[in-house]
Structure 1
Amino acid sequence: MKSNKPAGNSEQDIERNAAALDQRLPRSQRLRSQIDFNRVFGGKHYAADDVLVINAAANTFGRPRLGLSMSRKVGNAVVRNRWKRLIRESFRRAKHDLPQHLDLIVRPRRGATPTGSAIDRSLRTLCRRLAKRIAPPESPGVS
């Protein structure tokens, strides 16, 4: 039986939708162009552990951005897509705690098992390590 209540108009629905929008990963927080990927890979800054390898470069956007690089050696399409989902989810949850001046390209270490807690821990640890090595860029117009 259908409800007579109009969909999406209550305060709870509005709050729930606002919270859901805050939880997404918008395009502005993703690396998408080949130029961006080449810049990060060409920067020679990386950190690795037994779960992830992260390449990083400074950006001027004031927020971290995520790129994913997934080799077929990681596994079949199902395994690669699981890795991508878990990495994006970890980044989305941690983005406010990560260094705000870094573009990141994340890829799994060959042979690692994709678990959310291991990816969370690895992402935060490696980003802290990279932030110590990569200084924030100078803001234009500041002397």
Structure 2
Amino acid sequence: MKKEFRIKKNEEFQYAFKCGKSFANRQLVIYYVEKKGQEHFRIGLSVGKKIGNAVTRNRIKRYLRQAFQELEDTIAYPYDIVIIARNPAKNMEFYEMKKSLTHLLYKERLLKNQ
């Protein structure tokens, strides 16, 4: 995923948590905030140490990045999106993760086709 599509700074994460809207399912929590004047969406990923060891956490982040890459053309533009993985995410395969992420984006009307 390109650098301009990432949220890296702690202040940007905190802003999304404080000022953004949230929605969750069993595996993932999504926070999103609209950013006027931004030409594309940005994502931030958070996988806590309670989920598992570094290998597990990195696998979850890799799956989420790949899912966002495949959904890139369908996501609405001026949003900052933060995804937090919950404990059941450690046992998921890629397609389950993508389905869960798509469900959250669909429910919160962050997909263009709605």
Conserved 8 A contact 1:53-1:109: yes
* TM-score, normalization by structure 1: 0.69
Residue 129 of structure 1 pairs with residue 111 of structure 2: no
1:1-143 equivalences under 5 Å are: 25-60=1-36, 61-112=38-89, 113-131=91-109
* TM-score, normalization by structure 2: 0.85
- 1:11-63 superposed Cα distances (whole Å, 9 cap, x missing partner): xxxxxxxxxxxxxx111000011221111011241111122111111123131
Q: Find the aligned partners of 2:34 and 2:109 in 1 and give their Cα distance.
A: 9
Is the partner of 1:57 in helix, strand or coil? strand
- Give the number of aligned pairs: 108
Structure 1: stretches of 5+ with no match in the other structure: 1-24, 133-143
Q: Find the aligned partners of 2:66 and 2:42 in 1 and give their Cα distance.
A: 13
Q: Identity rate of aligned residues, in percent?
A: 27
- 1:107-135 superposed Cα distances (whole Å, 9 cap, x missing partner): 21213323111111121221222237xxx
Is the partner of 2:108 in helix, strand or coil? helix
Q: Find the aligned partners of 2:22 and 2:80 in 1 and give their Cα distance.
A: 11
Higher strand share: 2
Higher radius of gyration, 1 or 2: 1
- 1:67-86 superposed Cα distances (whole Å, 9 cap, x missing partner): 01111011111100100100
Task: Give the aligned partner of residue 12 of structure 1.
Answer: none
Structure 2: stretches of 5+ with no match in the other structure: none
Q: Find the aligned partners of 2:13 and 2:68 in 1 and give their Cα distance.
A: 17
